[in-house]
Amino acid sequence: MRVILDCDPGIDDTYAIIFLTAAAQAGLIELDCVTTTSGNAPADQCARNAAWVLGLCGLPIIPLAAGVPEPLEVDLTTTPETHGDTGLGYATAPERHVEHDWDALWIDSIARGTDDLHLIVTGPLTSLAAFAHTHPEHFAKLKHITVMGGAVHYPGNTTPSAEWNFWVDPHAAADVFALTPTPITLCSLGVTEKMVLKPEALAELVDRLGGSPVAEHLEAITRFYFEFHQDVGEGYQAQIHDLLTVLIALDLVDYQSTETTVAVEADSELMRGTSVADLRGIWEREPNACLVTEADVEAAWERFGWACDVHAKVAAGDAEIEELRHLRADD
Ligand code: RIB
Ligand code: CA
């Protein structure tokens, strides 16, 4: 399996990167590249954040670039109140030069074949929509697209009906679902809000990370998110949406989904970013989504614990990593 991660780190995106780098270190996947969109923080800041986390996870060599900096039509809104001033809670990534050749990275990866290529988007869909418009011939070759976004028949986290990623760039979300060459595996809030991390579990995960450099920063990164969730009435815990999305994309946890047609509202101020699934087939349109309806969250946290063990072994220079190469959803 090969992966392109398009993300907006972002605290829960960081957990997705921690898992993907462990899976790459264990030979489970090839992480072709990481690109960033503006969402939790501006795309360039997200790229600095991603670069730092990739380095902490032992993979500073992964091709990385910042994507399209502004939403297709609306003004950019970021969310320092949710993810911190620079997007990593109470931690701050060091300043660094940021590349911007994100579409060349995608084209190179697509040119290597798409049968086993998984494009996973855990931020706004700005770059994917831009790619569809500017490189339609390459966009058409994509066969596996997984998106974290939407509040399908479920309360929004940004407006009463909209989830953050779709609200930040509603035109991009609308375009992607209108143009996609393959049904998108959609991980929306009704499922991803169940991926809850509590402080005691975080302490155990940090312990399992052992001497991995990321262990030194994960508490400071995550504590901000605990405080945000408490402030909005969710309790002192955190919803790690993007980690569950990655595990579903790679079929590393059991999940249920239903094929349907999804549309996203882009022009209404009140309903901006609202996503609807035509579960009764009233529109009689071709399906463009596999809407995930439930997922094994307990197994997802077991997979992340495995990832922490991998990082600890890599940090210890432990050759035993071979043992972990055979992880599969049915292990
Ligand atoms: O609504 C949750 C999503 O918005 C997650 O991807 C989080 O990182 C933010 O981008
Ligand atoms: Ca995200």
Rounded Cα distance, 237 and 229, in Å: 6
Single pTM value for the model: 0.97
Fold adopted by 2-318? Inosine-uridine Nucleoside N-ribohydrolase; Chain A (3.90.245)
Residue 242 Cα to ligand 2 middle (Å): 6
Strand ranges inside 58-123, DSSP E? 64-66, 117-121
User: Measured from the CB, is residue 123 less than 6 Å from ligand 1?
Assistant: yes
**From the CA of 192, which ligand is nearest?**
1
Please confirm whether the linkage preceding 87 is cis (ω < 30° from 0). no
Residues 6+ apart with CB under 8 A from 262: 150, 152, 177, 184, 186, 275, 276, 277, 278, 288, 289, 291
pLDDT in tens, the chain (331 residues): 999 999 999 999 999 999 999 999 999 999 999 999 999 999 999 999 999 999 999 999 999 999 999 999 999 999 999 999 999 999 999 999 999 999 999 999 999 999 999 999 999 999 999 999 999 999 999 999 999 999 999 999 999 999 999 999 999 999 999 999 999 999 999 999 999 999 999 999 999 999 999 999 999 999 999 999 999 999 999 999 999 999 999 999 999 999 999 999 999 999 999 999 999 999 999 999 999 999 999 999 999 999 999 999 999 988 666 555 555 444 4
In angstroms, the Cα distances linking 330 to 24, 143, 250, 302 are 19, 23, 13, 12
**Closest ligand 1 atom, residue 189 Cα:** 1
Rounded Cα distance, 239 and 197, in Å: 6
Decide: 306 and 324 in contact? Cβ < 8 Å.
Answer: yes
Residues 6+ apart with CB under 8 A from 123: 6, 7, 8, 10, 13, 36, 37, 38, 39, 40, 46, 165, 168
